[in-house]
A and B are shown apart, each in its own frame.
Chain A
Amino acid sequence: MNKFYFILFTVLFVNQTFSQDKYLTKNGFVSFFSHSLVEDIRADNNQVLSIIDTKTGQIAIQLLMKSFFFKKALMQEHFNENYVESYKYPKAKFKGEIINFTSLNEDINETEIKGILSLHGEEKEISTIAIVDIQNKEIKVTGEFTVEVADFNIKIPSVVINNIAKTIKISFELHHKPYSK
């Protein structure tokens, strides 16, 4: 009888079963979009590294600024050399938590992700709602949020001030798979 209650307890209260403690992707997708009356600018990064600790719901994301691909080569050059100064600050990082991760179901969930975004040598607390699709073999985290260019000390020259939005939309789609060292 005791054994039965134990099994019942486990089945009722364990919402997720993960094959590994850590889930990882090295091909996460992050893109940003700037809309202005003069032009729309968009860049994609397909080499985003992201790790989720399923025991705590902590998420750590890293990407190389130089991996952002712009359709216009000149724009990519300006972005790296003048705006984000990627030779000085090669990476952007996000360290945070998927709120209530351990109580999410193996399902498509909507929850908050909160943490610190480090970009261009500046740090800012970011909080956004994201879709967290949990399956046994894959955890997909999708969402979008906006950032103010000025918050990260990114200086836009007055010549192109009308080409680049003050608020940039950032989209992400990260498909994490079980990770074992």
Chain B
Amino acid sequence: MKNNKFRIISGIFIFVIISLFLLLKSYNKPHKDIRTSKADLTLNAEYLLNQFLEDEDAASKKYADNIILLKGEVFEISTHDGNSVITLKNQYSDASIICQLIPEDNINALKLKKGQNVTIKGICSGFLLDVIMVRCIIVK
């Protein structure tokens, strides 16, 4: 009798420990590693921009939170408070795509030149005056 009780209690105890461990792991799970994550979509900067300019709501629902491999022309490289920002833009529109790099990739931003074609991987947040991409890295 006592043996059974002991087994049941230790069984429950182990179950609780494992559950807590898994819960803690889930709670502390890190952000997706942008370098190793596979892109959901590969797009031209111009195309993505037009999608948002045509129908912002629809584009937001379609593209926000997606990891996008973006190809476009560098219009501007700047830093704000330690964050590097690459702006992709073509000559036809006022709006652009603003890509904020992860801090680890800041050093790669220095190698870029205005007018250069670049491929950037990042997560789309949505649109304000421009399309906004966060957690970006320079792929090529």
Contacts and interface: CB of A to CB of B under 8 A. Distances in A.
Contact of A46 (B31, B32, B83): B83
Contact of A73 (B32, B61, B98, B126): B32
A46 B83 CA distance: 9
B81 A29 contact: yes
Interface string A160-176: 00000000000000000
Contacts of A76: 31
B3 interface: no
Nearest to A27: B80
Given A27-B85, A29-B81, A66-B64, A47 B98 contact: yes
A73 B29 contact: yes
Interface string B92-106: 001000101000000
Contacts of B64: 66, 87, 90
Contacts of B30: 73
A118 interface: no
B127 to A, nearest CB: 8
B132 A47 contact: yes
B32 A64 contact: no
Contacts of B28: 72, 74
B96 to A, nearest CB: 9
A142 B80 CA distance: 16
Given A64-B126, A76-B31, 19 more contacts: A26-B128, A27-B80, A27-B81, A46-B80, A47-B98, A47-B128, A49-B129, A63-B128, A64-B128, A64-B132, A66-B64, A66-B125, A67-B126, A67-B134, A69-B134, A72-B28, A72-B29, A73-B31, A91-B126
Interface of B: 26-32, 60-61, 64-65, 80-81, 83, 85, 94, 98, 100, 125-130, 132, 134
Interface of A: 26-27, 29, 46-47, 49, 62-64, 66-67, 69, 72-74, 76, 87, 90-91, 181
8 contacts: A26-B128, A47-B100, A47-B125, A64-B127, A64-B132, A67-B126, A69-B134, A73-B31
